[in-house]
Amino acid sequence: MTADRQPHPLAAGLLPANWDEGTPDPGRLAPEHAAHVGELQRAGADLAAFFARAANGLAAAADLPELDERHTTLLGRERGHVTLALGDLPHVPLEERKRLGRAYNLAKRWLGELEAAQRRALEQEREARGAGMLDVTLPGRRPWVGHRHVLAQIREELLDLFHGLGYSVYTSPEVEHEAYNFGKLNFPPDHPARDAHDTYFVSDTRLLRTHTSPGWVRAMEERRPPLRLVFPGRVYRAEQVDASHMDQFHQVDGLFVARDVSMADLKGTLNTFARSILGAGVRTRMIPIYFPFVEPGAQLDASCVNCAGEGRTRGPDGERRCAVCKGSGWLELLGAGMVHPNVFRAVGYDPEEVTGFAFGMGLERIAMVRHGIPEIRLFLENDMRFLSQF
């Protein structure tokens, strides 16, 4: 600290006299302006005069560049008068320092507020002026266009693929008879297989369908074999909602009924599907699993897209269990199987004459596996930050 150094004094003379010209009205920007001047007056007439002229200058700034320039003169980080005065406070004799420091800080805050208010006023003025004008030289504004929801994209892709394999689309009701959702699909009335299909009943015998498989029954009752159909649609279940369960989701079933359809045909079809959706390098496996409407029933798994089936991933902090497949190397894709003879009987087909395979998949599940989406609820939330990624 040097004793001979003169602290930067704040006085009106530092500022151009023309800042006072015209009739600037800082009170328009800050109703308490007069009281502020009064308060600074108690710290010194020079300071009060400086503040009054500074405020006038801000209020009279004619446009944003002028306002910027005046703001820099007053509060600029390096050479602003108020900044310099504050920086020199250590050179002010101790007995005055506290009083002056408080006054400078008040002046700084109030000038900052005036500047912000004048900025808003100028911006509004500019907008109001621009609103009535048409600048024909501006490039056109491209209208915002949306795109298909990620599930709709996957559905279209799947329907396209199966169309190529000779399948046509069959749609059936979302409010379904119990007989179609369960009975004719060979779910006995009190069978535990119904537990996984808890749903919402709209009457004693009508319910929100729990899968798209009832579509096969309707199609087979209406038509004679051979049949090659896909059944896309929304399904419902009374689920406790969590990261992988929702009470509504989407499925696509497929059904192929003819003479001598075999499990090998099913396997070939499912492998074609898996390679098309997950890439040519994907490996698959079928494991036995129970569904009432097929025999044998199978689950199709694909090698994990995250770890390429290894069950482990390597990162900067070493090797760890793959978080996507939980270390198994496999991801469950869908259910499938050979249509159960009881289902053929229920629709009036002769199981000695025809055979068939069927498969059913959840669209959300396929999308999650394909894109590594960890949370099923994202599909329904309509958050653009999620949807615009696909």
Q: Among residues 24, 225, 311, 335, which is the contact residue for ligand DAH, using CB under 6 A?
A: 335
Residue with smaller CB distance to ligand DAH, 311 or 360:
360
- Count of residues that bind ligand DAH according to CB under 6 A: 11
Bridge partner residues of 286 (DSSP): 300
The only residue of 336, 354, 363, 367 in contact with ligand DAH, by rule CB under 6 A: 336
| Minimum gap (Å) between residue 257 Cβ and ligand DAH | 12
List the one residue from 51, 337, 349, 356 that touches ligand DAH (CB under 6 A): 337
Give the footprint of ligand DAH on residues 267-326 (CB under 6 A).
291, 294
Cα 191 from Cα 188, distance rounded (Å): 5
Judged by CB under 6 A, the stretch of 78-86, 140-148, 312-320, 355-363 that binds ligand DAH is 355-363
Which of 360, 363, 378, 379 contacts ligand DAH by CB under 6 A? 360
CB 379 to ligand DAH: min, Å: 17
Which of 340, 351, 300 has the alpha carbon at shortest distance from 191? 340
Which token pair is 344?
């053929």
Largest CA distance in the chain: 113
**Cα–Cα distance, 324 to 313 (Å, whole number):** 10
Q: Count CA atoms closer than 13 A to 345's CA, side-chain side.
A: 8
80 vs 214, beta carbon nearer ligand DAH:
214
* Cα angle, residue 376 at apex, residues 374 and 379 outer, rounded to 5°: 115
Tell me the closest approach of the beta carbon of residue 213 to ligand DAH, in angstroms: 4
| Nearest residue to 186 (alpha-carbon basis) of 358, 339, 351, 360 | 339
Residue 358 lies near ligand DAH (rule: CB under 6 A): yes
Q: Give min distance, CB of 136 to ligand DAH, in A.
A: 59
Number of Cβ within 10 Å of residue 60's Cβ equals 20
Our CB check for ligand DAH shows the closer of 55 and 336 to be 336
When asked if residue 227 is in the footprint of ligand DAH (CB under 6 A), the reply is no
Query: Which residue of this chain has its Cβ atom nearest to ligand DAH in the complex?
Result: 360
Whole-number minimum distance, CB 186 to ligand DAH, in Å? 12
With contacts defined by CB under 6 A, name the span among 13-21, 42-50, 77-85, 334-342 that binds ligand DAH: 334-342
Q: How far is the CB of 289 from ligand DAH (least distance, A)?
A: 8
Residue 73: which residues within 8 A CB-CB, separation 6 or more? 15, 57, 80, 81
Cβ distance to ligand DAH smaller for residue 199 or 213: 213
Compute φ and ψ for 201, nearest 5 degrees. -90, 135
Other C-beta atoms within 10 Å of 378: how many?
19
Nearer to ligand DAH, 26 or 233 (CB): 233
Task: Please give the C-alpha separations between residue 190 and each of 115, 184, 186, 339, in angstroms, as whole numbers.
Answer: 76, 14, 11, 21
Q: Which stretch binds ligand DAH (CB under 6 A): 5-13, 84-92, 156-164, 354-362?
A: 354-362
Pairing of strands 284-288, 248-258: unpaired
Residue 30 to residues 14, 37, 107, 318, Cα–Cα distance (Å): 23, 12, 13, 60
CB of 210 to ligand DAH, least distance (A): 7
- Strand, helix or coil for residue 254: strand
355: contact with ligand DAH by CB under 6 A? no
Residue 59 touching ligand DAH (CB under 6 A): no
213 binds ligand DAH per the rule CB under 6 A: yes
Q: Please give the angle made by the CA atoms of 156, 159 and 164, to the nearest 5 degrees.
A: 125
Binding piece for ligand DAH, criterion CB under 6 A, among 138-146, 312-320, 357-365, 381-389? 357-365
The candidate with the shortest Cα–Cα distance to 303, out of 283, 322, 287, is: 283
Q: Contacting ligand DAH (CB under 6 A), which of 19, 236, 359, 379?
A: 359
CB of 361 to ligand DAH, least distance (A): 8
Min CB(390)–ligand DAH separation in Å: 24
Number of Cβ within 10 Å of residue 286's Cβ equals: 18
Under the rule (CB under 6 A), what is the footprint of ligand DAH?
211, 213, 253, 291, 294, 335-337, 358-360
